[in-house]
Structure 1
Amino acid sequence: MGLFSSPKLPQPPLPDIEIHLSNPTDKVFRPDDVVNGWIAFAPVVPIAPHAIVTSLWGHAQIWHRTSHSNNNKTTDYHHWRDNAPLFEVSTNVLQTPDSKPVTLQPGQTYTYPFQFRFPLGTANSRVGQYKNDADERWTVGPHNLPPSFWQGSHHGVSDAPNWAKVEYG
């Protein structure tokens, strides 16, 4: 065992998991729309899971930087970064009537349906998260869900400033 090695235990092989949506691939979801689908689960070794949890979430992120040059040949930079959760709903699709785990066998694919409804709006409050909660640049209380979007000047490079996005998954 070397200086930086760790005594990691071998891990069992991972199962194959696929998520399928029943909705058309070009479907644009709006608040109060329903998302239907199923999870295909194929274990590679016998396994008795207690839960298979699926989630629907939304969040907004921003990284904005401004710079102002002064007469004394210095530049002041101001950064705004935020990662605001909009909502998250989860459900255990592995429902057993007696709450006892069932052993799933390798070589078989098990399917578990799920259904989510997009909320009408956010359920969170961001009061106290900003220097001035009354600043009109942001909304601190619950509000309607915004559409998903990407706005940026660096073609999706997330380690460069001046971008904003809202996404759902």
Structure 2
Amino acid sequence: MKTISKLSCCFSGCGTAGIHLAKALGASEIVAVCSGKNIEFVTEQGATGVIDYKTQSALKEYGKDYFDFVYDTVGGINYAETRKLLGSDGMFVTIAPSISIAVRYFTNMQKSKSKMIFTNHSRKDLERILDLKKEAGFEPVLQKILPFSKDSVEEGFKLLKSHRAKGKIVFVHEN
């Protein structure tokens, strides 16, 4: 795995996990992108810097070629501007690609600073994440634990689609 010294990530349940993992992997600088009301929370989670997307621009605050890695967990970002943040060996990863990003990638119009990653979950990967969790001492942030029912699933997905979840939404099947 490539060493990440400077990471920028969007704030969400997956963004919070990204902060924890980046910290566990030794990132020296972790910049979270969120609204001003979440600055204290992301700092508590391990972010060393914060961009309030409502009032600031990462490009203006940090300049071109600053980050090794940009992790987009929300989607809808300006990819052309975001790409400028990456150094020559930097990588942009999104878990919520827009249709334009997908089209550019599959038609070879995408610049080399991004990769399409298809996940293949493995026991080895999950064990590595658990080891990092133990070593770094972080706990996953749970936004809400809901029973596995039609109404609760609708409630959970409504929260997920709002892009306002600070942690993971968990559904519990009760026998």
Shorter-chain TM-score bucket reads under 0.3
Report which structure shows greater RCO (CA 8 Å, sep ≥6). 1
More helix by share: 2
More strand by share: 1
**TM-score, reference length from structure 1:** 0.20
Larger Rg: 1
**TM-score, reference length from structure 2:** 0.19
